[in-house]
């Protein structure tokens, strides 16, 4: 049983709650859990929960049906997002709408080996560096790790590349000497039920990656997490790494089903280690992608620059080139499951040189978006800036640009293109009207529409359906089955949902996302009602230029920008557009989008919107821009940024 205390509880009231529980046969464990202070009442005591809930200082009582009370979703319905790092390196979050990838060698073998590996995985997009300093091995003659010296090498590499590190701790005696050298402790599969180790690690307050034992049940795994939480740990992530079965074609059997099962039982984030699960290099990437498709919050992958020469687990370690391919595949898959691949800045990333918007993600006052809570634009904002990003709701797309320009918001998020409906021309035109605003990033969001309504409503008694015109257009087949419904248009889908909540209407439905239903306390009557499931919207993040350059947001890429957006017009003569495109082709620059738009006030004159992939040599692109300025008319540079998967 969990007793959640109010934020204003006095020391006296807290003590009275303790006494009340102890007198009734409970063992008490106190814990700060997320933003809440709680008292865990453990044991076989007997209490009237209604009477307990009325005690001064008690906000609520959560009586769970599970033995793992602190880890149970009955105790906390919202997903926990844990934070790793933050002292000498940028903090990394695990959980929520982003996929976090941990990578590195099985074991730290030398300073040079771990630094080389770190550089390669960082370049591909990993955000946490893994490596074993102490290695529990089946054979006493196998390589056991470099110990504290190896951990020092790991920490050195992590700090150089702005990556938190995670390493395995194998005994309680090592915890104190390791805690100041690592950002996250790993409890290995062999130690999952080493309860003294769990208690010791939990007591020092470091984030913990808890691997499932090779022969342990899901409940035993969650009970191990309970030991950590009950001992004081606040940031615990679970890691499925395969279980022992009768199958011999792989090292272990990856229990894919455990991912959705555990996420239903617990609020803790779940990662997957495909390397140990399959033990065969060629099978690691398919298993990793399957884990993401099943809902994993991240991966921990073994990578070695020369796996054949590795001192530990070489056969299951990816070559850096294989890891890079895996990361590209994850980027492509992430929008399908409603997530985004997490990236963090390098120390030499241009974002660290921004003077007037220094570290915009960490210090921003507001991020502007058009719509109400639960809008698709807000979901895109969360993908880009994180769940805890401060937000500014505005009534129109133009208001997003105004807020960024006048300083009401430091950044904004707005849609520019839908895979079915095409470009959002209003926003492209706004970039021309606001030359001081630049594109600084992008995200692709899968649009899944739902019919949502009041809790009392039933699909059979719906008479009116509200949504944005695009929402109606994208759900035509579903609406055709209900010709009796009257359709009412709103500025955006979330606003349509909000109107139902405000009016308390129970014969009115809205076409919007599931997030809007949650935001306004409505229920989903039917999910996935869009006609075409391949429905994606591309959103861009925008910010005010610093001088003549646009800032590069630290949250939008681990490496240099790889995409740019341009707009220009051409003279009315044969081959004018061809000449401009030939400049791009001649320099080997790939054109990913070309679209014409009428120039307002100039009939039969057109602007051309262009997206291009940036070459590795920035000088090449600079030369192209100068050539285009000379050849084209009304050339505008909209920004460089990191492309979405």
Q: Tens of pLDDT along 72-109?
A: 998 888 899 999 998 889 899 999 988 999 999 999 99
**Residue 537 a catalytic site member:** yes
Instruction: Indicate the CATH number of 560-645 among 3.40.190.10, 3.30.70.260, 3.40.640.10, 3.30.200.20.
Output: 3.30.70.260
DSSP-derived letter for residue 14 is H
- Residue 33 reports pLDDT greater than 80: no
Higher pLDDT: 557 or 453? It is 453
pLDDT category at 236 given cuts 50, 70, 90 is very high
Burial class (CB in 10 A: 0-12, 13-18, 19+), 533: exposed
**Section 428-442 average pLDDT:** 89
Edge to edge, the sheet with strand 606-613 lists: 591-598, 606-613, 563-569, 633-641
Task: Say what the pLDDT of residue 491 is.
Answer: 87
Question: Which sequence spans correspond to the domains of the chain?
Answer: 2-62, 82-135+147-341, 450-527, 560-645
Closest CA to 33 of 228, 263, 252: 228
Which of 183-187, 371-375, 629-633 is most confident? 183-187
Q: Which residues pair with 606 in a beta bridge?
A: 598
* 560-645 has the same fold as 82-135+147-341: no
**Section 6-25 average pLDDT:** 90
Query: What's the pTM?
Result: 0.77
Query: Which tokens hold the place of 399?
Result: 């208001």
Task: Say what the pLDDT of residue 288 is.
Answer: 98
Higher pLDDT: 344 or 405? It is 405
**Section 465-473 average pLDDT:** 93
Lowest mean pLDDT among 69-78, 367-376, 458-467, 535-544: 69-78
Q: How far apart are CA 408 and CA 405, in angstroms?
A: 8
pLDDT category at 34 given cuts 50, 70, 90 is low
- Residue 351 reports pLDDT greater than 70: no
Closest CA to 157 of 191, 181, 192: 181
Task: Say what the pLDDT of residue 301 is.
Answer: 98
pLDDT category at 241 given cuts 50, 70, 90 is very high
Task: Say what the pLDDT of residue 324 is.
Answer: 95
Task: Say what the pLDDT of residue 530 is.
Answer: 93
What does each C-alpha distance from 469 to 141, 444, 517, 523 come to in angstroms? 69, 21, 19, 22
Closest CA to 403 of 358, 364, 446: 364
pLDDT category at 268 given cuts 50, 70, 90 is very high
Task: Give me the CATH code for the 450-527 domain, please.
Answer: 3.40.190.10
Mean pLDDT in the chain?
Answer: 89
Q: Which residues pair with 300 in a beta bridge?
A: 102
Three-class secondary structure of residue 577 per DSSP:
helix
Q: How far apart are CA 410 and CA 360, in angstroms?
A: 7
| CATH superfamily membership of 2-62 | Phospho-2-dehydro-3-deoxyheptonate aldolase; domain 1 (3.30.70.1140)
Do residues 368 and 425 touch, judged by C-beta distance below 8 A?
A: no
Which helix (H) or strand (E) segment holds residue 478: the answer is: helix 476-480
Query: Which tokens hold the place of 254?
Result: 């990856």
pLDDT category at 358 given cuts 50, 70, 90 is very low
Check 401, 539, 568, 621 and give the catalytic one.
539
What does each C-alpha distance from 388 to 179, 183, 263, 361, 366 come to in angstroms? 27, 21, 21, 10, 11
How many residues are there in the chain? 645
Task: Say what the pLDDT of residue 224 is.
Answer: 97
Task: Say what the pLDDT of residue 178 is.
Answer: 97
Do residues 158 and 169 touch, judged by C-beta distance below 8 A?
A: no
What does each C-alpha distance from 362 to 34, 79, 558 come to in angstroms? 19, 22, 16
**Section 194-222 average pLDDT:** 96
**Section 252-274 average pLDDT:** 97
**Residue 539 a catalytic site member:** yes
Do residues 447 and 404 touch, judged by C-beta distance below 8 A?
A: no
Lowest mean pLDDT among 32-36, 386-390, 509-513: 32-36
Closest CA to 525 of 485, 468, 473: 485
Contacts of 35 (CB under 8 A, 6+ apart): none
Q: How far apart are CA 3 and CA 41, in angstroms?
A: 7
Q: How far apart are CA 374 and CA 450, in angstroms?
A: 12
Q: How far apart are CA 588 and CA 447, in angstroms?
A: 34
Tokens 């079965």 -> residue? 245
Higher pLDDT: 347 or 192? It is 192
C-alpha 293, offset from chain centre: 14
Task: Give me the CATH code for the 82-135+147-341 domain, please.
Answer: 3.20.20.70
**Section 604-616 average pLDDT:** 90
How do beta strands 633-641 and 563-569 pair? antiparallel
**Phi/psi-derived region of residue 413, left when phi > 0, alpha when psi is between -120 and 50, beta in every other case:** beta
C-alpha 161, offset from chain centre: 20
Q: How far apart are CA 255 and CA 394, in angstroms?
A: 45
Task: Say what the pLDDT of residue 645 is.
Answer: 62
Task: Say what the pLDDT of residue 362 is.
Answer: 46
Q: What is the dihedral of CA 328, 332, 335, 341, to 10 degrees?
A: 0
- Note the pLDDT tens digit of each residue in 103-134: 999 999 999 999 999 999 999 999 999 999 99
Task: Give the gyration radius of the chain's Cα atoms.
Answer: 27
Closest CA to 219 of 81, 72, 41, 63: 72
Burial class (CB in 10 A: 0-12, 13-18, 19+), 483: exposed
Task: Say what the pLDDT of residue 365 is.
Answer: 66
**Section 167-193 average pLDDT:** 96
Task: Say what the pLDDT of residue 144 is.
Answer: 86
pLDDT category at 342 given cuts 50, 70, 90 is confident
- Residue 552 reports pLDDT greater than 80: no
* Cα dihedral sign, 32-33-35-41: negative
Check 80, 100, 344, 537 and give the catalytic one.
537
Burial class (CB in 10 A: 0-12, 13-18, 19+), 346: buried
- Residue 356 reports pLDDT greater than 50: no
């Amino acid at each position: 049983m969990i007793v959640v205390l109010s934020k204003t509880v006095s020391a006296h009231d807290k003590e009275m709650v303790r006494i009340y529980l102890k007198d009734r046969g409970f063992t008490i464990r106190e814990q700060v859990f997320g933003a809440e202070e709680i008292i865990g009442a453990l044991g076989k005591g007997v209490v009237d929960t209604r009477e307990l809930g009325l005690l001064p200082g008690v906000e609520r009582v959560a009586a769970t049906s599970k033995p793992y009370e602190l880890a149970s979703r009955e105790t906390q319905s919202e997903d926990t997002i844990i934070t790793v790092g933050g002292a000498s390196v940028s903090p990394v979050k695990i959980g929520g709408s982003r996929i976090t990838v941990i990578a590195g060698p099985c074991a730290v073998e030398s300073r040079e080996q771990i630094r080389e590996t770190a550089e390669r995985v960082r370049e591909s997009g990993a955000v946490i560096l893994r490596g074993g300093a102490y290695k529990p091995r089946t054979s006493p003659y196998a390589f056991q790790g470099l110990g504290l010296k190896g951990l020092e090498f790991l920490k050195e590499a992590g700090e150089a590349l702005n990556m938190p590190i995670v390493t395995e701790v194998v005994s309680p005696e090592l915890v104190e000497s390791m805690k100041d050298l690592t950002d996250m402790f790993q409890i290995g599969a062999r130690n999952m039920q080493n309860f003294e180790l769990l208690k010791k690690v939990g007591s020092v307050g470091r984030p913990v990656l808890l691997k499932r034992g090779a022969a342990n049940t899901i409940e035993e795994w969650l009970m191990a997490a309970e030991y950590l939480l009950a001992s004081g740990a606040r940031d615990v992530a679970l890691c499925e790494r395969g279980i022992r079965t009768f199958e011999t074609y792989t090292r272990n059997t990856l229990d894919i089903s455990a991912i959705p099962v555990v996420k239903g039982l617990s609020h803790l984030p779940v990662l997957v280690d495909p390397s140990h699960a399959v033990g065969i290099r060629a099978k690691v990437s398919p298993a990793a992608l399957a884990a993401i498709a099943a809902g994993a919050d991240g991966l921990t992958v073994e990578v070695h620059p020369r796996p054949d020469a590795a001192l530990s687990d070489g056969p299951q370690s990816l070559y850096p080139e294989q890891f890079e391919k895996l990361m590209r595949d994850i980027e492509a898959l992430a929008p399908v499951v409603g997530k985004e691949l997490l990236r963090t800045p390098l120390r030499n990333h241009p974002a660290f040189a921004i003077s007037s918007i220094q570290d915009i993600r960490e210090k921003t006052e507001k991020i502007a978006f058009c719509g109400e809570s639960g809008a698709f634009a807000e979901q895109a904002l969360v993908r880009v800036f994180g769940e805890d990003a401060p937000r500014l709701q505005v009534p129109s797309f133009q208001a997003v640009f105004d807020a960024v320009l006048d300083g009401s918001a430091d950044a904004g998020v707005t849609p520019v293109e839908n895979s079915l409906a095409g470009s959002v021309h209003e926003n492209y035109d706004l970039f021309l009207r606001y030359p001081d605003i630049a594109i600084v990033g992008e995200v692709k969001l899968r649009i899944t529409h739902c019919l949502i309504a009041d809790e009392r409503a039933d699909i059979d008694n719906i008479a009116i359906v509200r949504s944005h015109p695009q929402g109606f257009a994208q759900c035509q087949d579903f609406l055709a089955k209900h010709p009796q419904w009257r359709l009412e248009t709103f500025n955006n889908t979330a606003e349509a949902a909000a109107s139902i909540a405000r009016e308390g209407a129970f014969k009115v439905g809205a076409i919007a996302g599931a997030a809007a239903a949650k935001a306004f306390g409505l229920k989903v009557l039917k999910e996935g009602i869009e006609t075409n499931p391949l429905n994606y919207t591309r959103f861009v993040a925008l910010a005010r230029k610093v001088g003549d350059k646009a800032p590069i947001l630290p949250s939008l890429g681990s490496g240099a920008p790889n995409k740019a957006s341009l707009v220009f017009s051409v003279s009315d003569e044969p081959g004018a557009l061809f000449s401009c495109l030939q400049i791009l082709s001649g320099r080997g620059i790939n054109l990913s989008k070309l679209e014409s738009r009428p120039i307002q006030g100039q009939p039969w004159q057109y602007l051309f919107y262009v997206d291009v992939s940036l070459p590795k040599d920035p000088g090449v692109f600079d030369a192209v821009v100068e050539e285009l300025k000379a050849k084209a008319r009304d050339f505008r540079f909209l920004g460089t940024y990191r492309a979405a998967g």
